Amino acid sequence: MMLHIEQVLTKQQVAQCRQVIDAAEWIDGNVTAGQQSALAKRNMQLPEGSPAARQTGEIILDALERCPRFVSAALPLKVFPPLFNRYAGGQSFGIHVDNAIRAYTGGNFRIRTDLSCTLFLAEPEEYDGGELIVEDTYGEHRAKLPAGDMVLYPSTSLHRVTEVTRGARVASFFWLQSMVRDDGQRTLLFQLDTTIQQLAAEKGHKDAAVVQLTGIYHNLLRRWADS
């Protein structure tokens, strides 16, 4: 499931993040590329663990904790500290798949990458190109979202970023390990939770059907989740 999550960051938070990272020193993005990705990756990146990356990453992580749609869809167990990249002047990222395991440089933090996240920090009209294209069995899915919006998709997906021919595409990217490993099970839980919330808004949380469906949701989560 590829999911667009709107307004993870407010425009004010986006401006705050950009003020910090635009003033920082950027390096070649291949520092975090795997063997396959390094052959296709042409972009710039904030150094992992740099003061600017840590400061801005904390803003993003705080916002994610307060985003019900993200929590419902991802069921996060561990979130990799956000990283930041920039594409300009013809840079792109060819087709690739993310590494299955990610370890944080200089620490003992390690996750299984179940879901990949791209949080856009530049408005679409600021640059040409720079689309995130994710491939699955249903074809290609494209994302070029307003600043502050995020796209969430399975890390097993082949994906790429098209060439940026004008301006600069700036984004945060990171991975997470979900409590529910299987994408199909996560999707069913998200659809069920969304339906419960819609029904509760219409009938109230004490409605018999809402209570019964909520019980089914938690019993499925109990069956499928690792904590």
Q: What is the pLDDT of residues 135-191, one digit of tens each?
A: 988 899 999 999 999 999 999 999 999 999 999 999 999 999 999 999 999 999 999
**pLDDT at residue number 33:** 56
First vs last C-alpha separation in the chain = 22
Specify the pTM: 0.93
The residues of the chain that CATH labels 2.60.120.620 are: 3-178
Determine how many CB atoms are found less than 10 A away from the CB of residue 145. Answer: 20
Of 48, 49, 56, nearest to 22 (Cα)?
A: 56
For domain 183-224, give its CATH number from 2.60.40, 3.40.50, 4.10.860, 1.10.10.
4.10.860
**pLDDT at residue number 36:** 57
The residues of the chain that CATH labels 4.10.860 are: 183-224
Name, in order, each residue with C-beta under 8 angstroms of 20's C-beta and a sequence gap of 6 or more. 52, 55, 56
Mean pLDDT, rounded, for 66-74: 98
Query: Which tokens in the block code for residue 195?
Result: 């339906």
Q: Predicted confidence band at 35 (pLDDT cuts at 50, 70, 90)?
A: low
Of 205, 208, 218, 126, nearest to 164 (Cα)?
A: 126
Mean pLDDT, rounded, for 93-100: 94
Homologous superfamily of 3-178: q2cbj1_9rhob like domain (2.60.120.620)
Element (H, E) at 93: strand 92-96
